[in-house]
Structure 1
Amino acid sequence: MIRVLENEFYYLDNFQRVIDWIGERYADLLDEDERAFLAAFPALPRNARALFVRMVMRKGNLFRASKLSYAEIGCPVEAADQLLGTGWIEADPALTLDELFDLLSKPEIAEAFGGQLRARSARKAEQLEALREQCAGMRPFSQWYGACDDLALRILVKPLCDRLRLIFFGNLHQDWTEFVLSDLGLFRYEQVEFSADSRGFRQRRDVEHYLQLHACKERFAAGEDIDAVVEDLPWHAFDNDWLDSRREKLLFQVGQHYEKQKDWDKAHGVYVRCRFPGARGRAIRVLEKHERFDQAYALLQAAQAAPESEAERQHLSRIGPRLARRLGHAKLAPRARQAVARIDLCLPLPNEDWWVEGVVRDHLAAEAAPVYYVENALANSLFGLLCWRAVFAAIPGAFFHPFHRGPADLYSLDFHQRRAAEFAACLAELEDGRYRDTIRRHYEEKSGISTPFVYWDALTPELLELALACIPPLHLRRWCERILADVKTNRTGFPDLIQFWPAEGRYTMIEVKGPGDRLQDNQLRWIEYCAAHDMPVAVCYLQWEQAA
């Protein structure tokens, strides 16, 4: 049930909670301004602190006092007066014309500029352009609009507050709403024990590296000249693993950009310096496109000797024969594929709203053999429920604030290795039958808690019980082992449907392909894995009778 927040200063308490948390855990890496802020903020009157936090949590850095009217704060001008001595805000700040237009309504613009406006009916943007030449420079708000008795305020320390938010969350995409959504019960998070080592940033340069990387990422996303962005990119590896993974991902995206531009040399130069999964395969592909076949083949052979993942092995198996043919090498024998059951259906085109997987599900379903659309939901959920305590183990650096959906190192190469004992204990329950009680208990106790694996909306009690009754523990172990081998890649690609025969205690997974559709790479890998380990899987090819 969603609760109503009774504390009218909830946002102030949340802000104080953050700075207390930072003061306790990160004091050694704060700069002088940040330490001074943490010391001075609690000493201010409550209404002044509340007004400041309201400004911090709102968009932008310019406000009108009349728009900061909150019952619990009282007069915003009086609250602002108590903040002026801190240097954190400025009253009646100097504004550009653009900033002024952001604060004023269209009738107020007409009053402020009077005869200077030639067409009062023009759109606000048109009025702004018409006034630019004669209204250049900056002036205090009161000089721009002397007839207004409102007070303009500018908050000067938004960057400092953003740094504090960054230090707390370890990212800039989470914000103050996390507290409210959690307090209201809209989001729930697992309670993990935090130790002194539970810090996202271990030294000040981690914070600076994050901000540098974030600035480059923002410029790249905004379409700024790519070469200018690359000049400012940090090419050296960070000694913070989760932070360095963000750097590697951005490098990979830059390489993709160059590749799309057909700038093969620059794309290759980025890829060979990047350790992000798939970068080596893209480097080979770029060399091939650039017709540097000898270099491409040499890198291909090195990759084939030690592939980084199943995905890379699959990618190399496609490139290898082409390169060998280009270089006149002997034709490579095709890789043997596992035989997979096939279902061919030819059905009438439905009249009502439909989706391909739903049509096949309803056609195959029988009272004694129900069919569910599960895709990635079922296998991941069973894994997440069985291995809950391993996923949320209090590994140093994995959790460093109360709002983690999953561990910070979820996609790192050593995610499994760092928790090997915990995962081994979870999977051991598959040997003696304890896993069923564990999964059921976690399903009841943890219901609704944010997790990277469990699909709470899709996993009904009926589906869960059928899965526990019909899927052998050995098959569940195989699923878990493959997910752990490459969490990022192997969480997807599961077949669309699963059919159960409860009376016989068996099941079949079914991938559905409509007319003209084909199997994706991650689907092929899962289907071949299941077939190789004698797990029942089939591919259903649907055609419509009208097109037959």
Structure 2
Amino acid sequence: MNAPLEDPLYYLHNFQRVLDWVALRYPDLLDDHEQGFIAAFADLPQPSRALLVRLVMRKGEVFRASKLVYGEIGCPRAAALPLVELGWLLSDPELHLIELFALLRKEELLGCFGSRLPKAGRKEDWLARLEAEQATPLAFSGWAGTVPELVEEGVWRLTLMDLCDRLRLLFFGNLHQDWTDFVLADLGIFQYETVAFSAESRAFGQRQEVDAYLHIQRCRQALRDGLPAAELLPLLPAERFANTWLELRRGKLLHELAQHHERLGELAQAQALYAASAHPESRIRALRMLERLEDWPAAQALAEVIVAAPAHDAERQQVARILPRLVRKQGGPPNKRRPASPVERLDFELVNDGLRRVEWLVREHLGRDEAPVHYVENTLLTSLFGLLCWDAIFLAIPGAFFHPYQREPADLRLPGFRERRAEAFAACLARLDDGSYAAVIRERFAAKRGLASPFVAWGILGSDLLDQALACLPARHLRLCFERLLEDPDNNRTGLPDLIQFWPAEGRYRMIEVKGPGDRLQDNQRRWLDFFAAHDIPVSVCHVQWQVAATSA
């Protein structure tokens, strides 16, 4: 970690950077109010700008003046005056009881409510008691009128959170990133690839898309906050979006609401919502709902649609299990179970020391000086792919990169990720054919060390592991695995074996999936094992049982 940030106003500079970025790239998507805010913010005194940004970056919207102690700002009351005049802060705002209870300590609440509260008890119980008596919000001074020092201290409500969330969304293209990303980058904790930005480097092309994103986010939050599904359903976007990215977000919301109905046993409603969703798991869930409703013809019809055009390997695998069951339910012949992939099996009895994971024990048991074993679950093959294809992954094409703090292209999980970079990926993979791949991977390993990547696990990939991998993994095997990663970059990054063993002197290797007592292969692991078996890629599944301690007679 680098030295702590020395400029006490670092957060203000970062906020201004967002405003400048958004004003430059999204002027056509900003209304008069938002443009007015950006202009007025620049004219404020520095302490007022700093206080506002501090509040924007804090949790909640209601703040006590006594809690806003910042040396670089000075008197918070003086800094707040211009913000109050603009209406960006409300002094003495109306508060619901739950907001008041979040602000005040127990002894302060006793001062406000006196004999209405028992002197002993929990704040949660006090809140429930008072809410039963009075649910109407009051101004802070109305609640705290019997405690003059509280009224004099003052409370403010920030009125700009929706506006600032919109600006943050325009900058990041999402709402899961926030102001801490700037700090983590400034401290050197996260480092990002430098990507060329153009006028087309925008997350949104129309204001309606921003509105839709924010509306979907509010609906998801309402569902998580417990809004009854009957009240939420009319708020959902009824029509599909032409924008693939927004449609997937709409699909995720529909999927979450369907899960809610499924948990309540409302299977018909769940099925309808799954059927309307574009979420990658929704078609299989819709199929399972039809099964549970015992609508066998509709279930079989949907299963056959999925078989004809599966969205991904996981869906293909799941429907292959379900379809024979549907056939049997309708009087069809029993299916013949598909034989398991011919994968080598290893069986060991090891001592459970209670300190190390089973993978570590197997690594120690199998490892030799001439045949080292490394723990690489989901990291080695993906890292080699990420290094070889670095330029294609970070290609600055429209719809991929919007700001300097992206660890991956925004369309990584969208259909057509590879196709939009077809020429670049073809050039990268061609290096596996001409033999230049090892030099390129080593060069990327040195030049890009530490930069955030969706594929490269810098904490696992050391020089020794890299050298052994390049010496022992055939280019043909790498190409096969990389092609599969590109078929579904999101799902196929997982399920890879836990260990890899090299024989450097012989130029060979094997991957090893480890299963402890009672552990079973996961579906994504089975898919990779089937793939390895189909292409003669060396892999073993190691089953471990614990040694039983001998007892003396």
User: What TM-score, normalized by structure 2, do the two folds share?
Assistant: 0.93
Question: What is the letter of the counterpart of residue 90 of structure 1?
Answer: L
Mapped to 2, the partners of 1:239 and 1:144 lie a distance apart of: 57
Report the counterpart of residue 177 of structure 1 in structure 2. 180
Of 446, 449, 452 in structure 2, the residue corresponding to residue 450 of structure 1 is 452
- Cα pair distance change 1:60/1:372, threshold 3 Å: same
Deviations 1:428-469 (A, max 9, x none): 111122211221122222222211111111112111111111
Question: What is the letter of the counterpart of residue 522 of structure 1?
Answer: N
Mapped to 1, the partners of 2:316 and 2:271 lie a distance apart of: 20
Q: CA RMSD in A?
A: 2.2
Mapped to 2, the partners of 1:121 and 1:285 lie a distance apart of: 52
Deviates most, 436-445 or 325-334 = 325-334
Deviates most, 245-254 or 411-420 = 245-254
Counterparts of residues 179-328 of structure 1 (less than 5 Å): 179-328=182-331
Deviates most, 274-283 or 192-201 = 274-283
Q: Does 1:70 align with 2:70?
A: yes
Mapped to 2, the partners of 1:378 and 1:124 lie a distance apart of: 51
Mapped to 2, the partners of 1:14 and 1:489 lie a distance apart of: 35
Mapped to 2, the partners of 1:64 and 1:544 lie a distance apart of: 58
Of 519, 530, 533 in structure 2, the residue corresponding to residue 531 of structure 1 is 533
- Cα pair distance change 1:434/1:105, threshold 3 Å: same
Mapped to 1, the partners of 2:278 and 2:238 lie a distance apart of: 12
> In the TM superposition, what is the alpha-carbon distance from 1:82 to its structure 2 partner?
2.4
Of 414, 420, 423 in structure 2, the residue corresponding to residue 418 of structure 1 is 420
Mapped to 1, the partners of 2:473 and 2:134 lie a distance apart of: 76
Of 333, 336, 343 in structure 1, the residue corresponding to residue 346 of structure 2 is 343
Counterparts of residues 463-478 of structure 1 (less than 5 Å): 463-478=465-480
Deviations 1:242-279 (A, max 9, x none): 22212112222333333343433222212222232232
Mapped to 1, the partners of 2:298 and 2:128 lie a distance apart of: 56
Report the counterpart of residue 543 of structure 1 in structure 2. 545
Q: Secondary structure at the match of 2:490?
A: helix
Deviates most, 424-433 or 338-347 = 338-347
- Cα pair distance change 1:136/1:395, threshold 3 Å: closer
Deviations 1:35-88 (A, max 9, x none): 110111101111111111111111122222222221111221111122222111
Q: Secondary structure at the match of 1:74?
A: coil
- Cα pair distance change 1:82/1:288, threshold 3 Å: closer
- Cα pair distance change 1:547/1:242, threshold 3 Å: farther
Mapped to 1, the partners of 2:226 and 2:461 lie a distance apart of: 41
Q: Is the 8 A contact 1:216 1:233 kept in 2?
A: yes
> In the TM superposition, what is the alpha-carbon distance from 1:200 to its structure 2 partner?
0.9
Mapped to 1, the partners of 2:209 and 2:96 lie a distance apart of: 35
Deviates most, 166-175 or 145-154 = 145-154
Q: Secondary structure at the match of 1:209?
A: helix
Report the counterpart of residue 515 of structure 1 in structure 2. 517
Question: What is the letter of the counterpart of residue 224 of structure 1?
Answer: L
Mapped to 2, the partners of 1:530 and 1:467 lie a distance apart of: 17
> In the TM superposition, what is the alpha-carbon distance from 1:476 to its structure 2 partner?
0.8
Q: Does 1:79 align with 2:79?
A: yes
Q: Is the 8 A contact 1:190 1:450 kept in 2?
A: yes
Q: Is the 8 A contact 1:112 1:147 kept in 2?
A: no
Structure 1 unaligned regions, length at least 5: none
Counterparts of residues 130-169 of structure 1 (less than 5 Å): 133=133, 137-141=137-141, 143=145, 145-148=147-150, 149-169=152-172
Report the counterpart of residue 58 of structure 2 in structure 1. 58
Q: Does 1:462 align with 2:464?
A: yes
Deviates most, 500-509 or 260-269 = 260-269
User: What TM-score, normalized by structure 1, do the two folds share?
Assistant: 0.94
Deviates most, 122-131 or 296-305 = 122-131
Mapped to 2, the partners of 1:489 and 1:19 lie a distance apart of: 36
Question: What is the letter of the counterpart of residue 177 of structure 1?
Answer: T
Mapped to 1, the partners of 2:278 and 2:93 lie a distance apart of: 48
Q: Is the 8 A contact 2:223 2:229 kept in 1?
A: yes
Deviations 1:64-118 (A, max 9, x none): 22222211112211111222221111223344454444333344445555x5466
- Cα pair distance change 1:452/1:336, threshold 3 Å: same
Report % sequence identity.
51
Report the counterpart of residue 496 of structure 2 in structure 1. 494
Report the counterpart of residue 382 of structure 1 in structure 2. 384
Question: What is the letter of the counterpart of residue 102 of structure 1?
Answer: A
Mapped to 2, the partners of 1:128 and 1:288 lie a distance apart of: 46
